[in-house]
Homo-oligomer: A and B are copies of this chain.
Amino acid sequence: MSKATRTPEGAFPGIRHDHGDCVAEALSAAEALCAQRGVRLTELRRRVFELVWSSHAPVGAYDLLSRLAREREGAAPPTVYRALDFLKEHGLIHRIESLNAFVGCRTPGQAHAGQFLICSECGMAAEIDDSRVNAAIDRRAKEIGFAVHSKTIEVEGLCPPCRDRAGEDGHGIG
């Protein structure tokens, strides 16, 4: 199994996965990307990136701000939003439109749309990048004559563990 493409089973990292590895991997990828592009992953941007990566659940800008404010006196909304803008611009994070929240990108540097499965129970988001989905949209757009710039694909539902848990509940006394 290649390292580049994770298995579908890995879409939602288990509750016991070593998240430190996720963060470390993301950070080093981000550093490499910024170095390559000649842009600066400043301390602030790096810190905001780490905070976004603090879990696989998308996190709101003001959540980030309140955490940032603990360590950085005078942090204000623009502090966070500017860092987020930078990270987004360079494909290091994605914005989840349906949640007004941000999540780390699993495949930074690649041109990609960002397709997400988002669990409404536990909040976890899994980034998928399904070529069939992309192809189906592109095909349809082409039929219509629409020139695609970017795609927002956010699927809400239950991740495997939460789905199973919900199923158990349904089996009870009722």
B152/A155 in contact, CB under 8 A: yes
Per-residue CB contact flags for chain A residues 26-67 toward chain B (1 = under 8 Å, else 0) read 000000000000000000000000000000000000000000
B126/A130 in contact, CB under 8 A: no
For residue A9, which residues in chain B have a CB less than 8 angstroms away from its CB? 144
Question: A122-163: which residues lie under 8 A (CB-CB) from chain B?
Answer: 126, 128, 130, 132-133, 135-137, 139-141, 143-160, 163
The closest CB in chain B to the CB of A150 belongs to B156
Provided the pairs A117-B146, A145-B163, A159-B146 are in contact, do residues A133 and B126 lie with their beta carbons within 8 angstroms?
no
Give the CA-CA distance A148 to B11 in the complex, in Å.
Answer: 15
Contact of A136 among B136, B144, B156 (CB under 8 A): B136
A143/B97 in contact, CB under 8 A: no
A137/B155 in contact, CB under 8 A: yes
The closest CB in chain B to the CB of A153 belongs to B153
Question: A1-15: which residues lie under 8 A (CB-CB) from chain B?
Answer: 8-9, 11-12
17 A-B pairs (CB sep. < 8 Å) = A8-B144, A11-B144, A12-B144, A97-B98, A98-B152, A126-B144, A130-B136, A135-B136, A136-B136, A141-B157, A146-B157, A146-B159, A146-B160, A148-B156, A149-B157, A150-B156, A150-B157
Shortest beta-carbon contacts, A-B, top 10: A145-B160, A97-B97, A132-B136, A152-B154, A133-B136, A147-B158, A149-B157, A147-B163, A148-B157, A8-B143
